[in-house]
Amino acid sequence: MSAYIIRRLLLMIPTIFGIMLVSFILVQFAPGGPIERIVAQLQGTDVSATARIGGSGGGDFGAQGQMSGADSSINSKYRGAQGLDPEFIKSLEVQFGFDKPAHERFAKMIWDYARFDFGQSYFRDVSVLSLVLEKMPVSITLGLWTTLLTYLISIPLGIRKAIRDGTRFDTWTSGIIIVGYAVPGFLFAVFLIVLFSGGSYWSIFPLRGLTSDNWESLSLAGKALDYLWHVVLPVTALVIGSFATTTLLTKNSFLDEIKKQYVMTARAKGLSEHQVLYGHVFRNAMLIIIAGFPGAFVGAFFTGSLLIEQIFSLDGLGLLSFESIVNRDYPVVFATLYIFGLLGLAMTLISDLTYTWVDPRIDFETREA
120 beta partners? 127
Average pLDDT over residues 97-115: 86
Q: Is the pLDDT of residue 114 over 80?
A: yes
Q: Give me the sign of the Cα torsion angle 167, 169, 172, 173.
A: negative
Q: Is the pLDDT of residue 63 over 50?
A: no
pLDDT category, 16, cuts 50, 70, 90?
very high
Q: Which of 109-113, 138-142, 208-212 has the lowest mean pLDDT?
A: 208-212
User: Which stretches of 15-112 are assigned E, i.e. beta strand?
Assistant: none
Q: Report domain extents, the chain.
A: 28-126, 129-368
Q: Are 252 and 233 in contact (CB under 8 A)?
A: no
Instruction: Tell which residue, 137, 184, 170, 157, has the closest CA to residue 314.
Output: 137
Query: Please, what is the average pLDDT of the chain?
Result: 77
Whole-number percent of the chain with pLDDT over 90: 4
pLDDT category, 364, cuts 50, 70, 90?
low
116 or 318: whose pLDDT is higher?
116
Euclidean distance between CA atoms 10 and 310, whole angstroms: 38
Q: Is the pLDDT of residue 81 over 60?
A: no
Euclidean distance between CA atoms 131 and 323, whole angstroms: 13
Q: For residue range 329-342, what is the model confidence (pLDDT) as tens digits?
A: 888 889 888 988 88
**pTM for this predicted structure:** 0.70
C-beta contacts of 346-350 below 8 A and 24+ residues apart: 346/12, 347/294, 347/295, 347/297, 347/298, 348/294, 348/295, 349/5, 349/8, 349/9, 350/294
Q: Does domain 129-368 have CATH number 1.10.3720.10?
A: yes
Q: What is the pLDDT of residue 215?
A: 78
pLDDT category, 82, cuts 50, 70, 90?
low
Q: What is the pLDDT of residue 308?
A: 82
pLDDT category, 41, cuts 50, 70, 90?
low
Q: Is the pLDDT of residue 294 over 70?
A: no
pLDDT category, 17, cuts 50, 70, 90?
very high
Whole-number percent of the chain with pLDDT over 70: 76
Q: Which of 59-73, 196-210, 244-258, 265-279 has the lowest mean pLDDT?
A: 59-73
Q: Are 242 and 146 in contact (CB under 8 A)?
A: yes
> Helix, strand or coil for residue 135?
helix
Q: For residue range 225-260, what is the model confidence (pLDDT) as tens digits?
A: 888 888 888 888 888 877 787 888 888 888 888 888
172 or 315: whose pLDDT is higher?
172
